[in-house]
Amino acid sequence: MSDVDVAHTKPIPAFYCCYLLRSTVRQTSLYIGSTPHPSRRLAQHNGVSKGGARKTANDKRPWEMVLIVESFTSRTAALQFEWAWQKPGKSRHLGLLDDDTESARGKGKTRPRGPARSLKGHLENLHALLRSTYFSSLPLSVRFFADDVHQLWRVWSDRVDGVIPEHIKVIPDGSCVEDQYPGVEHARVGGVDRIQVDYGKIYNYLEKAAFQLDDPENLQCKVCQTPIAPKEELVVVCPQMRCYCVSHLLCLSARFLDSAKERGRLVPISGKCPGCHKTAQWSLMMQELSFRTRGGKELQAILRKRRRGDCRTDIAPREDTDDVGTAAAEYGDFPVSVGGSIKGLNNASDKSTHDDIPLEDDWYESLALESDNEVDDRSKSHSTVPTRAEIVIEDSDCDSTG
């Protein structure tokens, strides 16, 4: 089965990001990569654990992760972004934004030609990518962990003749002085090692949706007011814990798009729930839907553990603020019909409850096809299979400056 086919049978990844590394001993040395697990990846680049790209295994260690671009719609989208950021001169997403003249370049209207060799060049290309036709339509966020890098970003953003869409969030984090950026406190995590990379944030949401859809007899689409059949149709559930609104996927997406400011958009960013009238992030709803329809045994294991109170992660979407999603889906990414149903949480006759499925600490990583290809240690024979602790993850090479 091809990677594309596999990607279309897996849930939307819990987390995926592109990142920019900077050497702490030689700050002109930079590296771009992508990963579903930033803290683990950084440890590999620094030689703390096995793995990391060959270009970072040198005297420029230790490396620091100065920023990440997160909330990609899929692994494929993250890899596309990574490649375009690495190779701006070859990317169709980074055509000149204005006249290719020295005067225009002086006003910040164009991107640097060829691979970026400086921090400023990487930030300029990042800004241009976020304004490009394709990536500007995704619900991305840029999270800065180094204050000097964020300050340089702000200088360029004020100078360039181009604005990043409002739905793309810029989050000063890490060493960025918190008091200088009011309104982002709730989005800060504090450091790379504090980023939640699993599905724990939607456990409550998954349980709620399973409970609501378990008895479809009286379910009705809040938009078109017709009966809903969860076994045959794609159904979305409001992420607010106290709202029991359900809708057909296409009905709700059409309503969200009709109310959006941007005309011509094909995939919603967010919209007001027709039930509770609170803002719902489309990306979060699509992540729940994809896991509900594709999670299989992992979903059943989560629901059983939740019923017994065994799940260690219990993080619910905030009731009084907009739910924050980590991915959004494009049309055509889901099957036309959904086979099979979700068993009731209290159905004692469900035979599968007697054959409990263990849920490993890193089970979610097998669902998200990693952009960092898992390979054997190059110094060993190809016939040697590493243990889980010795898995080496290597992402796409990017020329580091040095």
Averaged pLDDT score across all residues of the chain: 78
Q: Indicate if the pLDDT at residue 383 is higher than 50.
A: no
Direct distance between the N- and C-terminal alpha carbons of the chain, in angstroms, rounded to an integer: 40
- CA-wise closest residue to 148 among 22, 326, 286: 22
Q: What is the mean pLDDT of residues 184-208?
A: 93
* Domain boundary pick from 236, 259, 291: 291
Mean pLDDT, residues 93-99: 59
pLDDT at position 164 is 95
Residue pair 119/151 in contact (Cβ under 8 Å)? The answer is: no
Maximum Cα–Cα distance for the chain, whole Å?
A: 74
Who contacts 372 (Cβ-Cβ below 8 Å, separation ≥6)?
A: 33, 34, 35, 36, 41, 51, 393, 394, 395
175 shares its domain with 40: yes
Q: pLDDT tens across 266-285, in order? A: 899 999 999 999 999 999 99
pTM for this predicted structure: 0.76
In a domain, 348, yes or no: no
Choice among 74-88, 172-186, 280-294 with the minimum mean pLDDT: 172-186
Tell me: do 141 and 47 sit in the same domain. yes
Helices 282-294 and 249-259 cross at an angle (nearest 10°) of: 170
Considering the domain architecture, whether residues 269 and 285 belong to the same structural domain is answered as yes
Cα separation, 11 vs 315, in Å, equals 19
Question: 8-36 burial by CB neighbour count: b if 16+ within 10 A, else e?
Answer: bebbbbbbbbbbbbbbeeeeebbbbbbbb
Tens of pLDDT along 69-83? Answer: 999 989 999 999 999
In this structure, are residues 144 and 150 in contact, taking their beta carbons and an 8 Å threshold?
yes
| Any domain includes 236 | yes
pLDDT at 39 over 70: yes
Residues 210 and 275 in one domain: yes
Look at the chain and report how many structural domains it folds into.
2
Give the integer Cα–Cα distance in Å for 5 and 213: 28
Q: Is the pLDDT of residue 320 over 50?
A: no
Q: Confirm whether 220 is domain-assigned.
A: yes
One domain, residues 132 and 25 = yes
pLDDT at site 53: 87
What is the Cα Rg of the chain in Å?
22
230 shares its domain with 186: no
Mean pLDDT confidence for 102-124: 66
pLDDT, position 333:
33
Which tokens in the block code for residue 16?
A: 């995926």
> CA 346, 349, 352: angle at the middle one, nearest 5?
90
Q: Is the distance from CB of 399 to CB of 88 less than 8 angstroms?
A: no
Confidence of residue 366 (pLDDT cuts 50, 70, 90): low
* pLDDT > 70? residue 15: yes
Task: Tell me: pLDDT of 314 over 80.
Answer: no
Q: Tell me whether residue 354 is in a domain.
A: no
pLDDT, residue 378, reads 35
pLDDT exceeds 80 at position 188? yes
Q: Between these two residues, 71 and 373, which has the higher pLDDT value?
A: 71
Residues 128 and 38 in one domain: yes
- Whether residue 239 is preceded by a cis peptide bond, meaning omega within 30 degrees of 0, is no
Give the residue numbers spanning the domain of 85. Answer: 17-94+118-197
